[in-house]
Structure 1
Amino acid sequence: MLPNKWPEAIANFVSASNAHQTDAMLAAFADDAVLTDDDRIFEGKAAIRKWSDDEYIGSRVSLTILDFSLEGEEASLRVEINGDYPNGPYIFNFSFRLENDHIKSLFIS
């Protein structure tokens, strides 16, 4: 459950991810958003969709929020990720930068 204080874009990202709804997840991003995962950079919604189809929603991801922080337009989630991954679950940090009520960047570490 997401607290009311969370930015709508992040709440939408998490709920769409857990519901495996790619279009709804992408709607949380700005058109020119950048996603960085495992030292790879995905620029724009088409590249983020490909990443998601191959490695995220395509892997039937499930996020459990462990921690959350927000400072201005910067937000951080610590998540446990399950899905069709070998040797899971995994713990990751998702660092978001927000702009105009959308995710401008997401860095996964």
Structure 2
Amino acid sequence: MVTFADDALVNDQLRDYWGKKAIRDWAERDIIGERLTIAVTKVVRHYESFIVIADIDGNFDKRGLPDPFVLAFYFTPHNEFIVQLIILRNRHDI
């Protein structure tokens, strides 16, 4: 949590989580609670932002999901903190 700005935004599954408390609750439920594993396969720097591509696994319902299940994490830093993280399932590799 120390890497997020106090007023950071995380958007996961088309839901916004604003601020550290909401982000902590989301992480406890959807990351830690689902025992998510994230295997980074690619990192792209785009100007001052970063895109991290990763294979995702864990104890969540995988019915209808591709194997491997790949997500893109779009990080926007500012003053050494993450101010925005958008998580998307892309249909094409970047």
Identity percentage of aligned residues: 31
Among 47, 53, 67, the alignment partner of 1:78 is 53
Q: Please list every run of 5 or more consecutive structure 2 residues that lacks an aligned counterpart in the other structure.
A: 89-94
Deviations 1:23-57 (A, max 9, x none): xxx11111110000111000000000111111112
More helix by share: 1
- How many Å separate the matches in 1 of 2:48 and 2:54? 19
- The structure that has the greater radius of gyration is 2
Matched, 1:105 2:80: no
Query: Whole-Å Cα distance in 2 between the matches of residues 29 and 73 of structure 1?
Result: 16
TM-score by length of 1: 0.72
Residue 73 of structure 1 deviates from its aligned partner by 2.0
Alignment coverage as a number of residue pairs: 84
Greater strand content: 2
TM-score by length of 2: 0.82
Q: Which consecutive aligned stretches of 4+ in structure 1 deviate over 4 angstroms post-superposition? A: none
